[in-house]
């Protein structure tokens, strides 16, 4: 059985000891969310809780600009909030991220990715 996207996500988050949630709660180290402006434009913010929102530093016009920020904060923080709609838009490449970190490897014999160090018995 091949690794699912959810398994890859869990593997990456566990490796970095981070909880990624789409439900806001107290105790988040970093927050990423969609904001609707007064004139109905969508923008995105990425801040530490309680941090003053500075447009030049924390506001993004395009969601795809946040994927590297998400990856960075997963590595740095214990708990990251990313609102559900933004997370779905970002669609992280968990397989690529896990491969870059050496968490998975391609098993040529079985033609699929496996957790690094795990060998499937035949």
Task: Give the whole-angstrom CA distance, residue 7 versus residue 23.
Answer: 20
- Of residues 25 and 122, the one with the higher pLDDT is 25
What does the chain come to in residues?
122
- Predicted model pTM: 0.88
Span 91-100, pLDDT tens digits: 999 999 999 9
Among 35-44, 96-105, 112-121, name the one with the lowest average pLDDT. Answer: 112-121
Q: How many Å apart are CA 37 and CA 42, to the nearest integer?
A: 6
Residue 2 pLDDT:
82
CA distances for 72 relative to 9, 105, 122, angstroms: 15, 22, 38
């Amino acid at each position: 059985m091949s690794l699912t996207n959810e398994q890859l996500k869990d593997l990456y988050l566990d490796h970095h000891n981070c909880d990624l949630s789409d439900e806001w709660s107290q105790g988040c180290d970093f927050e990423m969310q969609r904001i609707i402006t007064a004139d109905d434009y969508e923008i995105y913010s990425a801040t530490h809780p309680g941090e003053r929102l500075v447009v030049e530093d924390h506001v993004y016009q395009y969601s795809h600009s946040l994927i590297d920020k998400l990856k960075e904060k997963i590595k740095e923080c214990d708990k990251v909030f990313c609102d559900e709609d933004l997370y779905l838009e970002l669609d992280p490449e968990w397989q690529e991220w896990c491969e870059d970190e050496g968490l998975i490897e391609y098993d040529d014999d079985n033609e699929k990715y496996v957790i690094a160090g795990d060998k499937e018995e035949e």
